[in-house]
Structure 1
Amino acid sequence: MRRTDRLFDLIQLLRDGRLHKASNLAEKMEVSVRTIYRDMDTLVASGIPVEGERGVGYILRAPVFMPPMALTQIELEALHLGAALVRQTADPELQEAAERMLSKVDRAMPEPMFGGIDGFGKEIFAAPEVAASFAQMPIIRRAIRERQVLMIDYTRLDGRQSRRRIRPLQMEYWGRAWTCTAWCETREDFRVFRVDHINEALLAGQIFDEEPEKSLLEYLQRFEAP
Structure 2
Amino acid sequence: MAGGRKQTGIRRSDRLFDIIQIMRDGALHTAHDLAERLEVSERTIWRDMATLRASGVPVEGERGVGYMVTAPITLPPMNLTMGELEALHLAVAILGEATDPDLSKSAQSLAAKIDAVLPENASPPSTGWGFAVYPFADAAAGFKHMPLLRDAVREKKLIRMSYLALDNTASTRLIRPLQLEYWGRVWTMSAWCELRNDFQVFRVDRIEALIDTGATFKDEAGKNLQDHLAKMDAEMSSQGPKTAI
TM range (shorter): 0.3 to 0.5
User: Which one has a bigger Cα radius of gyration?
Assistant: 1
Q: Please, what TM-score do these two structures have when normalized by structure 2? A: 0.44
Q: Please, what TM-score do these two structures have when normalized by structure 1? A: 0.48
